[in-house]
Amino acid sequence: MTEPAQLTLGVLWAGLTLYALFGGADFGAGLWDLLSGGSTAGLPRRRLIEHAIGSVWEANHVWLIFVIVVLWTGFPGVFAAVMSTLYIPLTLVALGVIARGAAFAFRKVGERLWERRLFGAVFALSSLFTPFFLGTVAGAIASGRVPPGLAAGDLVGSWLNPTGLLGGVLAVGVCAYLAAAYLCDDARRAGEAGLAAEFRTRALVTGVAMGVVALGGIGVLRADAPALFAGLTGRALPLVVVSALAGTAALALLWLRRFASARAASALAVTAVLWGWAVAQYPLMLPPSLGYQEAAATPAVLTATLVSVAVGAVLLVPSLVWLYYLQQRR
């Protein structure tokens, strides 16, 4: 029988996966907004991006809030250690999320060209550095540089290191790839064959580039995070293989212009690598010593958390599914 702590950990990771798939694509769309071109030439691309994320970007950040609340409630010691040791990149993430949302909203109502350009630049740049710093946070935790306790780790060296930088680059690249793959399908459904072809090329180039970075990252992890490397090449290897196969299939489907199938394969590739990370360091939450059982709250708190999540899911998930369904049909 699955214990409450283990179940809570699974719920937490499921929320993180959903945020990567939905929120990550939103960040990537902001990056492509930055690279769309001038005010006139880039207008069709920016309109497609706004159409794709305009009705769902706020809903996508529900998953980030969900992850924070479950971590805080279910594993308070881990929450305290992460938030205190990594407060510099996490503060930059918070500022980026706020700036990005505000700029996206204000750009739509800007009456002057310089206003729209200013808000567009803020939206695009914050879409770039926010996932980067989220990736450095992941790298810090995965490489065992966040010890238990309040600010017990190096406030700079914990995230500014080879594994942290690799995590940041991969996060930005994965977000950009997901966004391009999703936008191919959105452009096709909107009847914009030219835009679909443009984003197809961007998705293919980004996907190949991320494959190269991931291969190079093997050497980085072996030298800088040997425990994580051992886990990924050990019991998590089947999930790593699934991710590689799904990513290759996604590129092939993009090449064949099977955009809806490529979208699903891309999501599977990202999901597999995230759960591969989880399996690689299980049962540890803060490597090399703090496991989820030691970090968990009391059974009463965990049970209350799981019940609350279940009730919330009954109320919220149908609404989100309906929202995404309507957004895809528009």
Q: How many domains does the chain have?
A: 1
pLDDT at 1: 47
Q: How many residues does the chain have?
A: 330
User: What pLDDT, in 10s, does the model give residues 18-74?
Assistant: 999 988 888 888 888 877 766 667 777 878 777 777 666 677 788 899 999 999 999
How many Å apart are CA 327 and CA 24, to the nearest integer?
A: 17
User: What pLDDT, in 10s, does the model give residues 148-201?
Assistant: 999 999 999 999 999 999 999 999 999 999 999 999 988 888 788 889 999 999
Q: Which domain holds residue 175?
A: 4-329
3-class SS shares of the chain: helix, strand, coil, % to 5: 80, 0, 20
Helix axes 259-281, 4-18, angle to 10 degrees: 140
How many Å apart are CA 87 and CA 151, to the nearest integer?
A: 9
| Residue showing tokens 């990736």 | 135
